[in-house]
Amino acid sequence: MKSKKKLLFLILSLWIGSDLLTIGFENLLAHFTHLPDNSIIILNSLSITSILYLVNRKYKVVKIFIIPAHDTWLDKLVYVIPIMLYAVRALLPLLYDPAIWKMIVHHLPHSLMLVLAMITAVFFEEYLSRGLIFGALLVYFKHHKWRVQLSILLSSLTFSLSHAMNLFNQNAMQALNQMIYTFAFGCLVSMLYIRSGSLLIPFLAHCLLNLPSFLYSSSPLATAPVTLKTILMQIFMLSIFLVYTFIFINNDEKRHYQF
C-alpha cells in the first residue's frame, strides 16, 4: 500500500510540475529566443515527455501498443465509432470551404509545423493524463469495487484542471466552458484507452479533436462568446459522454483491465 501511495504522489506531483514547467519553459523560450510559437510547443512537449518516459521506465504504467486489444469487431466498434465521428468533425471544414485546401497547400511548411506541434502536444497530454495518471490510479485503486470508474473520473478531473491555465488568455466563462468539455472528453478517451489497451487510440481521437483548432482556425471553444446557453450545452454533452463511457465499462471484462 505504501508503494502505491508513493507512486500516486509521484505521478500527481509530475502532473502539477508539468503544468508549471510548461508555463515557465514556454515563457523563457519566448523571452530569450526568437523561435516561433509552434517550435516552442514542440520543444516543450518533447522535453517534458522525455522526463515522463524516464519515470514510466521504472513504474511501467503506460501501455502503448500499435495493435489494440484482440477483440471482436463488435467490441472494436466501441472505440472506432467515436474516432470516426471526430474524423468527420475534423474534415467538415474542408468540405464546406474548399479554399481551406488552397490555404494549407499554399502555406504547406507552416501547416506541417502546425500539425507537428499538435502531434507532440497531444502525445504529451495523453502520455501524462491517460498513461501515467490514469495508470497510477488504476494501480492505487486495484482492489476497489469502483476501481475503473474512480480512475476515469479522477484522471479526467486532472486533465480538465490542467486547462485552467487558459485563464491567462481567456475569460472565466470561456475557461469553464473548455474545462467542462475536456472533463467529458477525458472520460471518453479513458474508456477508449482501457477498452483498446493501447494509448494510440485516445491519442488518435485527441489529434482529431484538436486538428481543426490547429490547422483551420482558432478553436471555437477558446474564442467563441460563451453564454449560459453554451455552458448548458456543454453539460448536456458531458452527460452523453458519461453515459457512453460507463455503459461500455464492464467490470467483468478483466482482460481489459490488466494494468
Domain edges within the chain: 2-257
Mean pLDDT computed over 51-79: 80
Show Cβ contacts of residue 166 under 8 Å, excluding neighbours closer than 6 positions.
174, 175, 178, 222
Per-residue confidence at 26, pLDDT binned at 50, 70, 90?
A: confident
Cell of 2: 505504501
Contact by Cβ (8 Å): 117, 214: yes
Query: Over the chain, what is the mean pLDDT?
Result: 85
What pLDDT does 137 receive?
92
Judge contact between 205 and 83, C-beta under 8 A.
Answer: yes
Alpha-carbon span 130 to 198, nearest angstrom: 10
At which residue does the C-alpha cell 502555406 appear? 107
Residue 220 pLDDT grade (very low, low, confident, very high; cuts 50, 70, 90) = very low
pLDDT surpassing 60 at residue 89: yes
Q: Is-contact 249 149, C-beta < 8 A?
A: yes
Model confidence at 30, in pLDDT bands (50, 70, 90)?
A: confident
